[in-house]
Each structure stands twice: as structure tokens, then as C-alpha cells.
Amino acid sequence: MKYPVLAALAVAVASLHAADEAKPAAAQLKPLTPEQQKQAFYLQGFFLAGQTPLPQIATQLELSDEELDAVIAGLRAAVKGEQAKVKPDDALIAGAEKFFAERVAGKSKRWASQNEAFLAKVDADKDIVKSPSGLRYKIVTPGTDPKPVPTSTVKCRYTGKLVDGKVFDSTANRGNEPAEFGLSQVIPAWTEGVQKIGKGGKILIYAPAALGYGKEGQGPIPAESVLEFEVELVEFK
């Protein structure tokens, strides 16, 4: 059984490297330099935080750097087993709940308006097709026949964006190596959209929230987000 600290790094490394990539034997590894040790601790914190609701909380509350520093200070105290420097009395807790709820509601209202405007712009583009499910898409390159089916395993290069243009995920940030996954194991927009192209094909997918991450969102993706994807189907089986 792995200790949590090693398990977190193991999961992180597995997500960054192909399963068949050659790895050096433990006996061949050189001791980490002081700078590499700092990098190891940094990665530990990075991957641990990514497996918690913290990224989504930061997105929902639109935390400034100063506010994020305050959150991290609280985390630091808890991790070190210190007593909280702020007394969590009833008035503060109630006020904080109200404050956070109002901020989330304000963000949700503004975000809904942005998403609606983006989708209206997409619908005005005559080159973009709208399917009965509500998916919008544009085939850039059809690729070759045959095409994948819902039970296919595909390898794709892709970039995912929010309606404000922010990239929330991209294979370009991971050496441009294609990601592999089952079409039945992804969001509905991908399951439907990727089936419309063959090997070598490229497609633009515009996913309403219902075909994406819905009312909950995920990580840096706010709830009720319309998503834009540029997808290249490298191969499938």
C-alpha cells in the first residue's frame, strides 16, 4: 500500500506519461538536488490541490490573489496542526455564508449572460450545425471512413475553452501527445461529436451545459458553462 504522499504523485505522473513509456529503474535514479526537492514538494501540493474541490471553489468565488493567499494561510495552519487564528463565532460564520452565497450568485448571473450571448453568436453562424440533442458543431476536416462508434476507444488532440476564451484543458500543454479514452466515458458532447469525423478529421464542438458538465461544473469549469472544443481524431479502435 502506498503512503498518500506517494500515491498522489504516482497518480499525477501516470496522467502525464504514456503507460508504455520507458521509466528508469529505482536503482538508477540519482538523489534529488535541493532545487529538485523543492520542485517535488511543489508538485505534491499542485496535484493534491487538483484532486480536491479547491480549484472549483476558487473559480466560483473568483478569488483574487490576496483572497487566495488568505485561503492558503488557513490551509497552512490546518496542515501544521495549529490553532485557527480567527475565532469562528456564529456571527462570522453566518456573515461568511451570506457573503459567499452573494458572490457565487453574482458570478452565476454574469456567467449565464456570457454563455447565452456566446451560444446566440454560435447559432447565428450558418456554417455551424445544430443537432437534435442541442449540440452545435462544425466539421473542419471530415477524415477518412469508417467513423468511431460510442463503444470506440479514441486518441485525440484537443483544446477546450470557456466562452471567455480561457483554455481549461489542452493536449498542447502536455507535449501535444494525443489523449486516449473511451467515447462512452466522456461528456455527451464528445460522445456525439467525435463520431462525426473519421481518422485524421477535425471538428469544432460547441457544447451546451447539458451536454457538458451541467449544473455542477468541474475544476476550473464553472457550473452551467457552454464549452468550445477543437478536436483532432488521431486514431481509434
Phi, psi of 82 (to 5 degrees): -85, 160
- Residue 104's CB is within 10 A of a number of other CB atoms, namely 16
Q: How confident is the model at residue 179 (pLDDT cuts 50, 70, 90)?
A: very high
Angle at 176 between CA 127 and CA 20, to 5 degrees: 130
120 pLDDT above the threshold of 90: yes
Residue 26's pLDDT band (cuts 50, 70, 90): low
Which pLDDT value is given to residue 25? 63
Mean pLDDT within 44-62: 88
Q: How confident is the prediction for the chain on average, in pLDDT?
A: 89
From the list 95, 197, 125, the residue with the least C-alpha distance to 156 is: 197
pLDDT value for 22? 54
Q: How confident is the model at residue 39 (pLDDT cuts 50, 70, 90)?
A: very high
What residue type is assigned to position 233 of the chain?
Answer: L
Burial 168-202 (b: 16+ CB within 10 A, else e): bbbbeeeeeebbeeebeeebbbbbbbbbbbbbebb
Looking at the predicted structure, is the pLDDT value of residue 7 above 80?
no
Q: What is the pLDDT of residue 4?
A: 42
Confidence grade of residue 9 (pLDDT, cut at 50, 70, 90): very low
Q: What is the pTM of this model?
A: 0.71
Cell for 229?
472544443
How confident is the model over 188-211, as pLDDT tens digits?
999 999 999 999 999 999 999 999
The structural domains of the chain, ordered by start, are 128-236 (3.10.50.40)
Of 193, 195, 213, nearest in space to 149 by CA? 195
pLDDT bracket for residue 6 (50, 70, 90): very low
pLDDT at 98 over 70: yes
